[in-house]
């Protein structure tokens, strides 16, 4: 059987018999990597190209991580070094914030975590606040 025949047979099976299934991307998979921050709803929030619908996890290094660490220190007393590197301590601190906020405890900052944890608010009233 030629390669062309094999491809045609596989294509027929895939379409007709459901041999191959492509899983849809989850919302977290579709979110771009956070790399900076924006002031959003009067709080400093990680972003990607100005969009707050982004994600980041262990191994990330960026201004967004720095602002997440700032938030975790200020709002959750995490005691992290603010170095912009998402290491094991940042992940553990994020998991604790997720636990307190009722978010999935996966150690990944994404849209769900953004909307549930507290973020460092900006003036004139400083403090911590939730954003949507």
Which class is 25-129 in CATH? mainly alpha
| Percent of the chain surpassing pLDDT 70 | 77
Q: What residues contact residue 54 under an 8 Å CB cut-off, 6+ apart? A: 31, 32, 33, 34, 35, 46, 47, 48, 64, 110
| Percent of the chain surpassing pLDDT 90 | 73
pTM equals 0.76
At residue 86, the 3 state secondary structure works out as coil
What are the residue ranges spanned by the domains of the chain?
Answer: 25-129
111 pLDDT higher than 90: yes
Q: How far apart are CA 85 and CA 114, in angstroms?
A: 18
């Amino acid at each position: 059987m030629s390669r062309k025949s094999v491809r045609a047979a596989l294509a027929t099976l895939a379409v007709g018999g459901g041999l191959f299934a492509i899983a849809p991307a989850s919302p977290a998979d579709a979110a771009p990597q956070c790399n900076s921050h924006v002031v959003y709803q009067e709080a400093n929030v990680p972003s990607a190209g100005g969009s707050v619908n982004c994600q980041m996890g262990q191994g990330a290094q960026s201004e967004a991580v720095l602002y997440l660490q700032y938030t975790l220190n200020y709002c959750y007393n995490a005691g992290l070094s603010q170095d912009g590197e998402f290491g094991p301590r940042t992940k553990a601190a994020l998991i604790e914030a997720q636990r307190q906020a009722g978010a999935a405890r996966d150690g990944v900052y994404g849209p769900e975590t953004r909307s549930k944890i507290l973020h460092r608010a900006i003036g004139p009233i400083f403090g911590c606040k939730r954003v949507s």
